[in-house]
Chains A and B, each alone.
Chain A
């Protein structure tokens, strides 16, 4: 087995490292596991392991109008963010990949700016701007703000797909008479579609899990799920949130597995 690494060290001599690494992995994953288990508890007290099992917290999640409305808002915003960010990010990645533009470095920095700039600053700034143009507490405002946050992930994912694709194939198609759009759609697109799908999944999760900006610019009828959760956590620890959290964890696992499957096929 040590042949994999190629060093004359036996796994036996590394047991301490594996034990330590295992403990750190446990630290990373345990909180999520605990929440999933607690969400099926029957008690309002936070006992672990739970004495009695029930689905009452899931019931209280699905039956509460407030939670349901917030979930619907979040899903709507996330889907619209995907629909806007994916094509825009793909277009931008295509242009950056050509590398012929004079300001490629600056453009790259601009498009990935939302990964670097403290998100609290974006939240306050967006709120301030939206207050002037009446976009606070609107779905449109949320979608625009989330699109900006999701763009860098789509651009980076599609870009990595384009880097392993030979652009000459598109040139060949065009020299054989295909138009620009037809060449992209019929030759390039099928070969990078898995990267695009991965980018779209990342955009969805980015929007759905976004907290800080939504805290500032959503409210009233457009309160997102994360905003409602944040406010609920400020007051008290309602076990309903354990059920919602479990749903969010399952969603993350689902989307990540999909991204993984598409990534591998690429």
Chain B
């Protein structure tokens, strides 16, 4: 009321009074928004930040409780740890490569189909995406094991006389993980392919480029940022994957996450398990950060070349 009556002959004092009131109002608004956020932030803080920080703290001490780097030095000294890392990266590279080989043609087809057909085909990508990892791993166990579908079919057909060992080993892990992670590559890749301007392709073809040249010189380079984001997501998920290697590795394929579980649950060596987790998180964040940095550079590169 007082500000309103002061309007016709406003003084400097009134104006500062208004500014102050507005600023106080903005601050109250900010507090209200923070209050809306606080329960979620509190939960994330308690369930993610605190435990991860605690594990980081634990990883800095050895069994006697003395501050040391022994938990990390172990990774270089013990052959079994080195083997775990080699296995993990080998699986990650092969699975990511397989996902690219299968995912790129699929995403390309989806992006070229008429809208209705594409949305029907997309169901077949999204449904597995939302089906439990356990269900899909079980399915692959049934299909690939010694007395499983593939082996019994091949034996019935007379192609092989001895069952192939497809499950409970490296190949089983790779097949199962490729199946589970494929949608993570296809969905972002498809989304980015949909944003490629058809006019660019049409212009290329009008200027005399054949379908192959149009694809190679125009479509493929424009789809690379989407492909890169899919590749990074799949690779990062591979590094920390637990369920499929644990169930399909037959105890022979020890990946990073399994090693963490064994070290903590089986051997109760929290320091070593925590150190594994810290390095895994660091590698994950480094890859994601690198990707963001590269993609930023990449995106401007695409725009400046236009």
Contacts and interface: CB of A to CB of B under 8 A. Distances in A.
Contacts of A216: 265
B170 interface: no
Contacts of A98: 33
Interface string B237-275: 001101100110000000001001100110000100110
B36 A121 contact: no
Given A107-B41, A111-B40, A121 B52 contact: yes
Interface string A204-234: 0100010110001000000000100110011
Contacts of B211: 9, 13
Interface string B105-116: 110111010110
Interface residues of A, number: 82
A120 interface: yes
A129 B149 contact: no
Q: Is the interface of A mostly helix, strand, loop or mixed?
A: helix
Given A145-B47, A151-B43, A117 B202 contact: no
B54 interface: yes
A126 B30 CA distance: 31
Given A5-B112, A47-B152, A126 B142 contact: no
Given A31-B140, A45-B147, A119 B51 contact: no
B242 A119 contact: yes
Contacts of B236: 116
Q: Of A34, A88, A114, A125, which is in contact with the most chain B CB atoms at under 10 Å from its CB?
A: A125
Interface stretch (B9-17, B78-86, B126-134, B295-303): B126-134
A20 B112 CA distance: 14
A147 B281 CA distance: 21
A125 B127 contact: no
B41 A7 contact: no
A118 B30 contact: no
A253 B147 contact: no
B52 to A, nearest CB: 5
A177 interface: no
A148 interface: yes
Nearest to B44: A110
A125 B102 contact: no
Interface stretch (A56-64, A89-97, A189-197): A89-97
B121 to A, nearest CB: 6
Given A32-B139, A101-B30, A230-B243, 18 more contacts: A21-B121, A25-B121, A27-B179, A28-B124, A28-B182, A29-B128, A32-B131, A32-B135, A32-B136, A34-B143, A88-B40, A92-B37, A95-B37, A118-B240, A129-B50, A151-B44, A216-B265, A249-B131
6 smallest beta-carbon distances between A and B, as pairs: A125-B51, A118-B240, A21-B109, A31-B139, A120-B257, A4-B114
